[in-house]
Structure 1
Amino acid sequence: MPRCRRRFVLSISALALPLLFVSPAYAQMAGDVAEIVVTARAETATKTDTSIAEVPQSLSVIGADLIAARGAIGVQEALRYTPGLRTEPNGADFRFDYVTLRGFGSTDFIDGMRQGESFYTARTESFNLERIEVLRGPSSVLYGQAAPGGIVNSLTKVPQFDFGGEAAVQYGSFDRKQAQVDLTGALNDSGTLAARFVGVLRDADNQVDFGQDDRLFLAPSLRFRSADERTDIILSGVYQRDRAASIASFLPVNATLLAPSRDRELRRGVYLGEPSHNFYDADHYSATLQATHRFGDAVTYSGRLRYVHSDTANGDIEPDVWNGLENPFLDAGNRILPRYRYDKYTDLDMVTTDHNLRFDFATGPLTHKLLVGIDYLRSTLQGSTIYDAAAPIDIYDPDYSPANVPELDAERDPNSRNTQLGLYVQDQIDYADVVTLVLGARRDRATSWSEGDAKQVDHATTFRAGLIVKPGMGFAPYVSYSESFNPITGIDFFGDSFRPQRGRQWEGGLRWQPDANMLLSAAYFDIKGSNLLATDPNNGENQIQVGTVRSRGFELEASRVLPGNYTITASYSHVKARTGFDTDPLLVGLPISAIPKDTASLWGEKSVALGSDLMLRIGLGVRYVGATEEAAAFYDVDPDGQIERLRTPGFTLADALLALEWKKWSLSVNATNLFDKNYYAQCSVRSACSFGYARNVIGTLGYRF
């Protein structure tokens, strides 16, 4: 690690550790603030309501209050302070939530059910979330479809039987105007029926020229709970309409990171497409049914069913920088860049369902939580594509014109279909509340079919085992082994189906939770994954599958409540991800693109009473993302192959919160990238760079019912 970066990481540790190890007795003085920092229980790791301290695998929870405090406008922004994650590796893209986990792409779930691939579905609305749970490492025993790095499970708001809610208006950077409302309460006197409505309306630009980031989000829900509280049924719907633009932020590396002089470096926000043909339109519809029923103290049923339909239309004139050429320009002065028209239209239909029975019983001194379940997924994808050369552009003096857009008809893509049927069993065995053993196994049958090809059928058996010991004083060391199997929805640029991903992980760690106001976690992991998706260095619209990837590293995470209404969270991660085996021997041992070795973060918040009804909240965070390296093999110069490397510098960013709360009213100002640092999120060998997010300041005036 470079000396300056090492000093940065050590300075975060030096600042955080004295605060974290203040006597727990003093922490009790902070009162209920602890609930903001330490969430005691989670469901993603085991599909049961289990204390985080009893989970033999790395797990992080980000609650709704923390999401708002950090100024997150989406899921990926909410995860910026979570260890083991790299958020926004593609830079400022307002279409998708995209993160990597321990060197691998993540798998996204909502309420424990699989989402479609990000390109084919809508970006999750953060205002509709109760919390986000991040389970790191392979997790297929319970979820089937999961990448080796782990899953991000977003848990949505559900109806409550006490009346409440909030309404707010926002104004911020890039002419962002947003109104949002959340209203819930009982519908009858007996308290068996409740409803909730969450709505968001946004009209906004973004940091790229001709930008747009508009949204209409509507989420009504109903809940029935029997008088004896043994039956709980929730029916919810979502309609989401996104209209985004100017999201193709990849620019030639020779005019960004490797520009020969400052005046030849393109500014952040420059757009090299055509304003007349520049859109990302997504319409998303979903209906979800969730039900639980307790047959008695020993048997509980849980079931979930969701139908999703998404229409997406993405059209743009894009600079031809993902072509593997050392110099993509058409002229000697490196000004004129070729372009192409790329339009993609897709219709996705997905049905997911999960049903399980939980049996609680004892065998001698051992208590069991036995989970037996079955889940099913079916997704169908239809689409069409337009791809052809377009008029070139002078990158330093763009001349926009509708005449630069070639008139072409879309060609229908091969239809594709994916299914997965899984049977799983898991037993959480506890001895004297001191030792917990988690054992699980799963059998999957997955099919993938692309029109014109034979149906591919894959069978997989995955396992999970974890042991956690609680000797006392809040300590809980653990060790675990887990596997993953992930059929991939969709096809590549050439219409071919992707092969399933597989992974396995060994993990060892230690948690310390001396009281409800403090949680420290440390973990070491070793993951091996195969058939992973990566961007084709010769075609930015295509994804390819590499051989195997080996990822090793460790993570530290801490949450603490301090006397005087202080809260603090800190994290540090070290990840070393390399190519293990590949059909191209030159790629073996090379680093995985966009995966930094070191990341660190620190967030602190202070509440100050200014009067009997007036409270001031001040928050400040700093996050560091280390340098990344991409290495690629090229054969256009040397017939035996040539390895080229490119290093993208790391960066340190600051975020801030300032809020006043008076009775039921609140006025807050959030700023991310407070000092407006200009940085590159990722640069690729011989191709392109993507700018990171600019400073974003949002003011919110809210009222709680």
Structure 2
Amino acid sequence: MPSTPFLSLNSRTAGITRMALMALLLALGGLGLWPAGVMAQDRRHYEIAAGPLEQALNHFARQAGITLSYAPDMVQGRQVVALAATLAVEDGLAQLLAGSGLQAVRAANGSYGLQWRTGMGEGGAPMPVRQQTQRLKDVIIDGRGEQAEFAEGSEGYAVAASQSATRTATPLLEIAQSLSVVTRAEMEARGADSILDVLRYMPGANTETHGVDPRGYDYFNLRGFINAQNTSNYLNGLRQPVAGFGMFRTEAYGLERVEVLRGAVSASFGQADPGGVVNRISKVAGDDAPNEIQAGIGSFQRRQLAADLSATLDDAGRVQGRLVGLALDSNTQFSYGNGSAVPNDRLYLAPSLKLQLSGDSHLILLADYLRDRSGSGRWTAVRPDGSLTHTLVGDPGTDHQRGEQWSLGWMLDQRLDASWRLQQNFRHAALQSDYSVLNPVSVSGSLLSRSSARYETQLTSTQLDTRLQGRWQQGPLDHTVLLGLDLMQMRQDEQRYRGTAPALDLAQPVYGMPIALASTLYAQLHEEMRQTGVYVQDQIRDGAWVWTLGSRHDRVTDSTRNDIGPSRLDSRAHAWSHRLGLAWTHSPGLVPYLNYSTAFLPQAGQDAAGQPFAPAYGRQLEVGLKFQPQGQHLLYTAALYQVSKDNVLTADPQHANAYLTQSQVRPRGVELEAKGRLHPGLNIAAAYAYTQAINTRHVDPALQGKSPVLVPRHAASLWLDYTPGAAWSGWGIGGGVRYVGRNYANADNSVRNAAVLLLDAMLRLDQGHWRYALNISNLTNRQSTSCLAEPTLTCFWAEERMALLSARYRW
């Protein structure tokens, strides 16, 4: 009897309820696992800039994760000096309020409120400090929400804390692993239009592997492991699975920030390649959400309109809404010989609603919808002598990629008592795509023979991650414990067609001829995958030592059926993943660390004998140093690492189009990064990576010791963004340089891709509510390719010069 999925394209309420109840029972049951004591004097590192007291209190509450209330007239016109120290909450508030005549008082529910201090009059009698006669409505700052913690620091390049690495709000200095964060401010300054744009200026990420892809696939490598877009794609802490030709796209304008955690991270995230994960953080409703409308025009007939609108929807301020949208009408750098351009059109909508259920609880409801209409034509012909051309292999009447995706979900944050809080993230997402393409087969003289292919894909994904977080003190030890249950189900249906196509004369190509879409059905796939992950983590602060201990157990079942044949493949995999991290915070702002962690990644498919592929396993050892100059929004990091991955998928030398899992790859490397504000008005994002990746074991003995394809040994980047200030009021200028070193195009390392040096530039003008900006990538229009020489030479053209002129009105 076939199994019945509890969720499919048509939502089934019973299945969702079962997932939610399982998570809730585990979380509530965890309350009895640990002693319930009074809340510890939780010490955190705070970075608060000098300025208005109201702004300082706002940032402090978000970094501390507390609720703080006060009347606006109590703080009006008051200033504070900078605060950069590791303190308990009460001590931090006391330092901020010193000399103001105010004090913070903690209520029974764990929240804080400001009160006037009483002085001592004659005879020791208390004397009230004079208050203003008119009191305004109290302001409530809820800093305990997950998204509020993400938003802190988004006005600059550097941030104080991250949620991705440990699934708790942890200062970056205390995270014993290599982590990079790209804020909204940096994305806007660099004009980042895609995830590849976001990743360009960070170490360990190579984004120039497959050139420009009109289909919206974000090809990149992390720490020497290729195709990380398939294995490292996370949104708001939940995985965006990939199956067949179905891949969830990410609209960069809808992101608040992007966090890249490098190395083996399965103890936190479950399924992930040992190169790391890319966690995209969405814009959601909240106190700090802006209002803006933006219009832009650019190269290749690009026209776009975007809006980010927020509002408080009730008088009490407990319901806040936000709507993010973008409409894009554009072509790409590719065009056919008859003048038809390859399009890139997109429509994106993302509403969210924040409900303040009580002083200790809030719920964020969020959704998104994305529709794209683009061409699939990017294959360019290669002449028999190996020389490259710009002649597209396909035809504008046949090549297309049409996709549609949507998601619904929530983020719940509930404080249970002074020590415990319950958090839950849920998302149900679906996509469908229709991908049609003409592929090259062989060249004879000037004639290129072609074949047609078409893929119709439907993919649904349902995920529920529930976390119970507790904090308490045990003698000299401060504990932050995390218990979690992560459930995921993915279902995919894909129909694959093939057909014939007329040959193309490369000397005189003719486009627009009638070509029938591929119609011969050769595969009708149905895949269902389920994952259950249970994890536990303890962050222990013992004086200057910060330990991060974590373990996770994942169980994955995968069933794939092909109705053409027919055939069926069932696989099961389970594994423990671990993390041990140690940071030493003895010297303020200078923190050395050590990390050992493991990775686990199931691999769909089977070998030539019909046996399912074994899961891939990874191990990492990393040592590093983080330096944050006191009182500055600037972070320097250095990491030295070694990662090994077992059961790497490798071409079977005995069987065509088959793979084996008998190889091992070991990258070693150094990563350096500087991110933040060098001087007032001058921001920097600098990175360097040295990556030595080799096959330490291979099914083909001749390839042992060789390097995997598309992994550069050296890569470096530097971006500077300068606002002169009064001398050039409102003006800003920025520029960057990106270097990608030579890398191999084939397994035996006999064919190389050349090194590439690219320049970017930016010019902006701020006038009141308006900002005008000109962003240019690949300023000198350097034309380059990234090639794969197996089984035949295939090359992908990198992005040509792209200019975007935009105008933004913000209020």
TM-score range, shorter chain: 0.7 to 0.9
SS at match of 1:586: helix
AA matched with 2:266: S
Cα deviation code 1:70-109 (max 9, x no counterpart): 1211111111001000014111113212221001143110
Change (3 A) 1:241 1:431: same
Tell me, yes or no, if structure 1 residue 288 matches structure 2 residue 409: yes
Change (3 A) 1:132 1:424: same
Write out aligned runs for 1:408-427 (5 A): 408-427=519-538
Change (3 A) 1:538 1:41: farther
SS at match of 2:568: coil
Cα deviation code 1:312-348 (max 9, x no counterpart): 111011213xxxxxxx4223xxx22221111111100
Tell me, yes or no, if structure 1 residue 377 matches structure 2 residue 494: no
Tell me, yes or no, if structure 1 residue 696 matches structure 2 residue 802: yes
Residues in 2 aligned to 1:578 and 1:293: alpha-carbon distance in whole angstroms: 47
Aligned twin of 1:218? 349
Aligned twin of 2:581? 466
Cα deviation code 1:148-195 (max 9, x no counterpart): 100000000110246731101110000011000001121111111111
Residues in 2 aligned to 1:546 and 1:69: alpha-carbon distance in whole angstroms: 45
Residues in 1 aligned to 2:710 and 2:655: alpha-carbon distance in whole angstroms: 17
Change (3 A) 1:545 1:253: farther
State, as a whole percentage, how many aligned pairs show the same letter.
32
Q: Which of 492, 500, 510 matches 2:615?
A: 500
Aligned twin of 2:732? 617
Structure with larger Rg: 2
Aligned twin of 2:437? 316
Tell me, yes or no, if structure 1 residue 37 matches structure 2 residue 157: yes
Asked if the contact 1:200/1:218 (under 8 Å) is kept, the reply is: yes
Write out aligned runs for 1:348-367 (5 A): 348-367=459-478
Aligned twin of 1:130? 256
Aligned twin of 2:752? 647
Write out aligned runs for 1:97-112 (5 A): 97-104=218-225, 105-106=227-228, 107-112=232-237
Aligned twin of 1:48? 168
Asked if the contact 1:253/1:688 (under 8 Å) is kept, the reply is: no
Aligned twin of 1:607? 723
Residues in 2 aligned to 1:592 and 1:235: alpha-carbon distance in whole angstroms: 43
Q: Which of 375, 382, 386 matches 1:245?
A: 375
Tell me, yes or no, if structure 1 residue 484 matches structure 2 residue 599: yes
Asked if the contact 2:382/2:389 (under 8 Å) is kept, the reply is: no
AA matched with 1:216: L
Q: Which of 636, 639, 651 matches 1:520?
A: 636
Residues in 1 aligned to 2:653 and 2:293: alpha-carbon distance in whole angstroms: 46
Q: Which of 549, 559, 564 matches 2:675?
A: 559
AA matched with 1:367: D
Shift of 1:494: 12
Shift of 1:414: 2.3
Change (3 A) 1:486 1:55: same
Aligned twin of 1:580? 696
Tell me, yes or no, if structure 1 residue 266 matches structure 2 residue 389: yes
Cα deviation code 1:193-237 (max 9, x no counterpart): 111100111110001112110001111111111341x11111111
Shift of 1:394: 2.1
Change (3 A) 1:308 1:301: same
TM-score, with normalisation over the residues of structure 2? 0.76
Residues in 2 aligned to 1:579 and 1:555: alpha-carbon distance in whole angstroms: 21
Tell me, yes or no, if structure 1 residue 663 matches structure 2 residue 768: yes
Write out aligned runs for 1:6-25 (5 A): none
Unaligned stretches of 5+ residues in structure 1: 1-23, 260-264, 321-327, 633-642
Q: Which of 301, 304, 324 matches 2:425?
A: 304
Asked if the contact 2:762/2:774 (under 8 Å) is kept, the reply is: yes
Change (3 A) 1:536 1:565: farther
Aligned twin of 1:90? 210
AA matched with 2:256: E
AA matched with 2:625: L
Asked if the contact 1:361/1:367 (under 8 Å) is kept, the reply is: yes
Residues in 1 aligned to 2:344 and 2:161: alpha-carbon distance in whole angstroms: 35
Shift of 1:504: 1.0
Aligned twin of 2:449? 338
SS at match of 1:131: strand
RMSD over equivalenced CA pairs, Å: 2.8
Change (3 A) 1:381 1:540: farther
Change (3 A) 1:224 1:601: same
AA matched with 1:289: W
Tell me, yes or no, if structure 1 residue 448 matches structure 2 residue 578: no
Change (3 A) 1:122 1:244: farther
SS at match of 1:580: strand
Residues in 1 aligned to 2:609 and 2:393: alpha-carbon distance in whole angstroms: 26
SS at match of 1:208: strand
Q: How many residues align?
A: 647
SS at match of 2:745: strand
Change (3 A) 1:512 1:346: same
> Which piece of structure 1 moves more, 485-494 or 151-160?
485-494
Asked if the contact 1:623/1:654 (under 8 Å) is kept, the reply is: yes
Asked if the contact 2:212/2:799 (under 8 Å) is kept, the reply is: yes
Asked if the contact 1:379/1:489 (under 8 Å) is kept, the reply is: no
Residues in 2 aligned to 1:483 and 1:439: alpha-carbon distance in whole angstroms: 12
Aligned twin of 2:136? none
AA matched with 1:137: G
Aligned twin of 2:271? 145
Asked if the contact 2:242/2:248 (under 8 Å) is kept, the reply is: no
Residues in 2 aligned to 1:253 and 1:140: alpha-carbon distance in whole angstroms: 45
Asked if the contact 2:187/2:198 (under 8 Å) is kept, the reply is: yes
Asked if the contact 1:249/1:690 (under 8 Å) is kept, the reply is: yes
Aligned twin of 2:684? 568
Tell me, yes or no, if structure 1 residue 329 matches structure 2 residue 434: no
Aligned twin of 1:20? none
AA matched with 2:794: A
Change (3 A) 1:337 1:629: same
Q: Which of 361, 383, 393 matches 1:231?
A: 361
Q: Which of 590, 594, 597 matches 2:710?
A: 594
SS at match of 1:531: strand
Tell me, yes or no, if structure 1 residue 437 matches structure 2 residue 551: no
AA matched with 1:698: L
SS at match of 1:694: coil
Asked if the contact 1:131/1:154 (under 8 Å) is kept, the reply is: yes
Residues in 1 aligned to 2:381 and 2:670: alpha-carbon distance in whole angstroms: 34
Q: Which of 200, 223, 248 matches 2:326?
A: 200
Shift of 1:490: 7.5
Asked if the contact 2:398/2:517 (under 8 Å) is kept, the reply is: no
Asked if the contact 1:97/1:124 (under 8 Å) is kept, the reply is: no
SS at match of 1:400: coil
Change (3 A) 1:306 1:266: same
Change (3 A) 1:125 1:490: farther
SS at match of 2:333: coil
Asked if the contact 2:582/2:595 (under 8 Å) is kept, the reply is: yes
AA matched with 1:314: Y
SS at match of 2:186: helix
SS at match of 1:266: strand
Residues in 2 aligned to 1:479 and 1:52: alpha-carbon distance in whole angstroms: 14
Residues in 2 aligned to 1:58 and 1:692: alpha-carbon distance in whole angstroms: 28
Asked if the contact 1:481/1:507 (under 8 Å) is kept, the reply is: yes
AA matched with 1:609: G
Residues in 2 aligned to 1:694 and 1:425: alpha-carbon distance in whole angstroms: 47
